[in-house]
Structure 1
Amino acid sequence: MLLYAHSITPRLKYVADFLTRYYGHPFKVMANETAYLDSTDPRINYSHQRMSDGELYIKPSPLLSESEKRRFNLHAVAHNGYKVIFESNCDLGFDLFAGIFYLLTRYEEYLPHAKDAYGRFAHEASLAFREEFLHLPLINIWLEDFRTVLEERFPGIELQKPQFSFEPTYDIDLAWAFKFKPFKVRWGRILNHIFRLKFGQARRHIKVLKGKIQDPYDSYEWLDELHRQHNLQPVYFILAAIEKGKYDKNADVHLPQFHQLVHALGSQYTLGMHPSWYSGDHKAALAKEKAVVEKASHQHLHHSRQHYIRMQMPQTYHHLQDLGIQHEYSMGYGTINGFRASVATPYYWYDLEKEQQTNLLIHPFCFMDATAYYQQKQTPEETLAELRELLKTIRSVGGTMSTVWHNHLLGTAPEFEGWREVYAQFVAETGM
């Protein structure tokens, strides 16, 4: 597929590379008008005027020819049963390439924006939320429609069809509820339960410490069995904050039991680091936290997801790249479920600050249990309905459904009753 443009920019090359990987078919960018007109290959004209019969014409917006970052006054309009941005008078009715670039790069997060209570990019500030397509992998929907256009315009063209996949991931923020706490902490909590007349919780706490019942946050063996039943290969992200604080309450990273847990998980599954809240303000802590998990697991880490999804474009990604991270899993919101980058396909990060594609592969997620429970305040039944709707949508476009769950929500604590059953039901329905 030839893709003609007046000038070849890093932004256009990035979009062409994304299309090449998505369709499994090369999109060759060129600026030689004569060679383009003489070719008999399928052709896309991405310039300001039509040039020949038989070509597919997409009229460009300025976005891919620029190198600065500026605010666009964008609104979504209805087109072919879905919404589009960068509307233009051309064969598609909009600038598909600019739309892909704008959403994939999280362009709006580089501009001044509203922040949420945790200092993160507020989902309410996003175009996807304002224009009511946050619940959709809009890029995948565009590309499946674009596939039809290409196949009709260029009969015989062979385009790869993406296949649905399910990618389960887990954040281990609190490895245990009661076990392996310092003596004062253990009995301080028990006395607190008693003073607050929560005798049932005090009894459960004591039974856990005596080994009579399992710790309520210990869902590891239950998950192992679920993975075996459905042949799943999840990714576990381990919080290993050395400096504890309001948002970093993980187990003591020096505990032998903590190291044993990490080693056991790493012997079966892919592990990643889970950079603490503290490390967001102290870069040096990142390397220390990574070293803790690597030492416990006896392996090098290449995967990461931010604790509390605390990230800042592009600094967070720069710091992770400096540590050798190759797979990043924070592309989602901690305040609402949906598609932060409007896509359900892993993609390489484009650094808008340096204007270049990187080798950092972004794995977007669309659902987090903590978001459903704490932010959206859903019941297990409401969450299952949400998961089914997301699954149906992603399956229809052959996307990757990546979800985030926590061991403590999948445990046996009374406050999370029904959540592990919902997860087991959902996993069964993925068909994996």
Structure 2
Amino acid sequence: MELLVYIPKQTPRINYIFRHMCGRILGFKVKFCTKVEDFIAFEGVKFSYAKKKLGNEVFIQKFGLLDEQGINDLNFSVDHWEEVPCFFRVSSESEIPFDIFSAAFYLITRYEEYQPHVKNDVDSYPIEESLAHQYDFLKQPVVDVWTYKLKKILEAKFPKISFPKREFNSHFLIAVSKAFEHRHNGFVRFVGASFRDIFQLQIKSLFERFKTMLRLQPDPFDIYDELIGFAKENKLKFDFYFQLSNYSRYSKSISYNKRIYHNLIKSMGDYGDLGLLPGFEGLHDYEILEKEIKRWEGIVNRSLVKTLIKNYHLNFPDAYLNFNKLEVEKDFSMGYQKNIGFRAGTCTAFQFYDLNLEQVSGLVIQPYVLNSRILKGIDIYEKIEELKQLKSAIVSVDGQMNFIFENSDFVDRYSKNAIFALMKEMKQ
């Protein structure tokens, strides 16, 4: 269905955010016009986006951010409209009392992360500096909520129009940075790890290591068959992301050259989509990242589509710039490792917009709501209740709920059962 928007002047920012909100979220084919007579003559769904109202049309007043270029200091306050946080206030002439398009652009492009800030050692951008954290709307997909409020206004104005419909869905990603805990690591690493356990008096770990190597018990991290069985029983689909880095202080998995690792990766591809888990060095060195992608493609025998960063900081925007150069299509790393919620304010996939060049890239960012690092050392069942509320918010806007886990999360029986219970509650 076609939507016409009157604008005095088209800019890359306007084109980008309208195609996300009115296109991706509402399902319209968006067209712009700069001539008043063309706008008046159009008989379908339409509204104007300008500084001043033309007549009796649906009118959204612009704040001005979408006409700018580069990153500037912005002075604005956050308040509420119909119990939803809002900012970039405009006059009462506007159907909505704030510029939802400028506000959404600010959040989705991560405008605030381009501004000067002190980086931390986990997420690069400290959550304490984010607008969503400061004003307590991190757990609300505000961009989608604002867009659905615009939809209601358009439905009231154009009651005979049938609006497109999308559906809620949940998505579970399994990161594999270390494929096996003890087995297949090689004799030298086995001896070294055993001596370390002895010197540190880790007797339980030492026995576990020997029992695993003697095949008296399965490797603790080898939970792949159980994951597949659970997925089949509950009609779920998992994506698997494997790390193929050189052995280093950051990467302790078995060699990417080992046939058993190749067989594992290929076998998981029979049950879900596969992607790359870039190593720490690859996130900071373009050439190393390129090598890791080539390794992945050599094993899987097809072009890499998906990437995920789970336990390292996002290195924004450099990581996305490199992914885009290497023609990665989708990335699932947009979120806070130790906080539930929406880092970019939306539960809908969006294209990466480079604010430095004012360009839209081909890379599509899939935001996540939970990284399993949050679950370490806590009662997971209590988090399920919190996530139920978050799910309700996402269902209300027919969005997507992405969860990131890793194979090591399923070693402990309590954690495994709790995560399985979480997955059952969160599936669509």
- Establish whether TM, by shorter chain, passes 0.5: yes
Match of 2:416 among 409, 412, 420: 420
- Measure the CA separation in 1 of the matches of 2:122 and 2:143: 28
1:58 counterpart SS class: strand
CA shift at 1:269, angstroms?
Answer: 2.0
Q: Which residue number in structure 1 is paired with residue 402 of structure 2?
A: 402
- Measure the CA separation in 1 of the matches of 2:285 and 2:427: 42
Match of 2:188 among 154, 175, 184: 184
Structure 1 segment 19-58 matched on structure 2, within 5 A: 19-53=22-56, 55-58=57-60
Read off the aligned partner of 2:421 and give its amino acid letter: Q
Q: Which residue number in structure 2 is paired with residue 252 of structure 1?
A: 255
Q: Deviations over 1:328-370 (max 9, x none)?
A: 1111112322111111111122222221222211111010111
Q: Deviations over 1:209-236 (max 9, x none)?
A: 1111111111111110122123323221
CA shift at 1:194, angstroms?
Answer: 4.0
Q: Percent identity?
A: 25
- Measure the CA separation in 1 of the matches of 2:123 and 2:379: 27
CA shift at 1:312, angstroms?
Answer: 3.2
Structure 1 segment 78-97 matched on structure 2, within 5 A: 78-89=80-91, 90-97=94-101
Q: Deviations over 1:132-186 (max 9, x none)?
A: 1111111111122222121112212222232110111111011111111232322
- Measure the CA separation in 1 of the matches of 2:331 and 2:209: 36
Does 2:238 align with 1:234? yes
Q: How many residues align?
A: 423
CA shift at 1:12, angstroms?
Answer: 0.7
- Name which of structure 1's ranges 129-138 and 117-126 shifts more when overlaid on structure 2: 117-126
Structure 1 segment 351-366 matched on structure 2, within 5 A: 351-366=354-369
Q: Which residue number in structure 2 is paired with residue 388 of structure 1?
A: 388
CA RMSD of aligned residues (A): 1.9
CA shift at 1:96, angstroms?
Answer: 0.9
2:404 counterpart SS class: strand
Q: Which residue number in structure 2 is paired with residue 169 of structure 1?
A: 173
Read off the aligned partner of 2:66 and give its amino acid letter: L
Match of 1:100 among 100, 104, 124: 104
Contact 1:343 1:364 in 2 (8 A): yes
Q: Deviations over 1:401-429 (max 9, x none)?
A: 10000000112xxxx44221122112222
Structure 1 segment 115-194 matched on structure 2, within 5 A: 115-118=119-122, 120-194=124-198
Contact 1:347 1:362 in 2 (8 A): yes
Contact 1:370 1:406 in 2 (8 A): no
Contact 2:337 2:370 in 1 (8 A): no
- Measure the CA separation in 2 of the matches of 1:214 and 1:387: 33
Q: Which runs of 5+ in 1 are unaligned?
A: none
Contact 1:326 1:361 in 2 (8 A): yes
CA shift at 1:261, angstroms?
Answer: 1.2
- Measure the CA separation in 2 of the matches of 1:112 and 1:174: 35
Q: Deviations over 1:110-146 (max 9, x none)?
A: 2212211247111111111111111111111112222
Q: Which residue number in structure 2 is paired with residue 430 of structure 1?
A: 426
Q: 1:349 to 1:392 in 2, by over 3 A?
A: same
Q: 1:358 to 1:282 in 2, by over 3 A?
A: closer
- Measure the CA separation in 2 of the matches of 1:116 and 1:79: 33
2:165 counterpart SS class: coil
2:174 counterpart SS class: strand
Q: Which residue number in structure 1 is paired with residue 215 of structure 2?
A: 211
- Measure the CA separation in 1 of the matches of 2:188 and 2:206: 15
Does 2:271 align with 1:268? yes
- Measure the CA separation in 1 of the matches of 2:339 and 2:254: 27
Q: Which residue number in structure 2 is paired with residue 320 of structure 1?
A: 323
- Measure the CA separation in 2 of the matches of 1:312 and 1:194: 38
Read off the aligned partner of 1:206 and give its amino acid letter: F
- Measure the CA separation in 2 of the matches of 1:156 and 1:296: 53
1:272 counterpart SS class: strand
Read off the aligned partner of 2:356 and give its amino acid letter: E
- Measure the CA separation in 1 of the matches of 2:394 and 2:193: 44
Q: 1:30 to 1:287 in 2, by over 3 A?
A: same
- Name which of structure 1's ranges 229-238 and 380-389 shifts more when overlaid on structure 2: 380-389
Q: 1:387 to 1:410 in 2, by over 3 A?
A: farther
CA shift at 1:58, angstroms?
Answer: 1.1
Read off the aligned partner of 1:216 and give its amino acid letter: P
Q: Deviations over 1:376-408 (max 9, x none)?
A: x42222332333232222222211010000000
TM-score normalised by L of structure 1:
0.93
CA shift at 1:2, angstroms?
Answer: 2.0
Contact 2:185 2:253 in 1 (8 A): no
Structure 1 segment 61-72 matched on structure 2, within 5 A: 61-72=63-74
Q: 1:335 to 1:429 in 2, by over 3 A?
A: closer
- Measure the CA separation in 2 of the matches of 1:60 and 1:197: 66
Q: Which runs of 5+ in 2 are unaligned?
A: none
TM-score normalised by L of structure 2:
0.93
- Measure the CA separation in 1 of the matches of 2:358 and 2:112: 15
CA shift at 1:201, angstroms?
Answer: 2.7
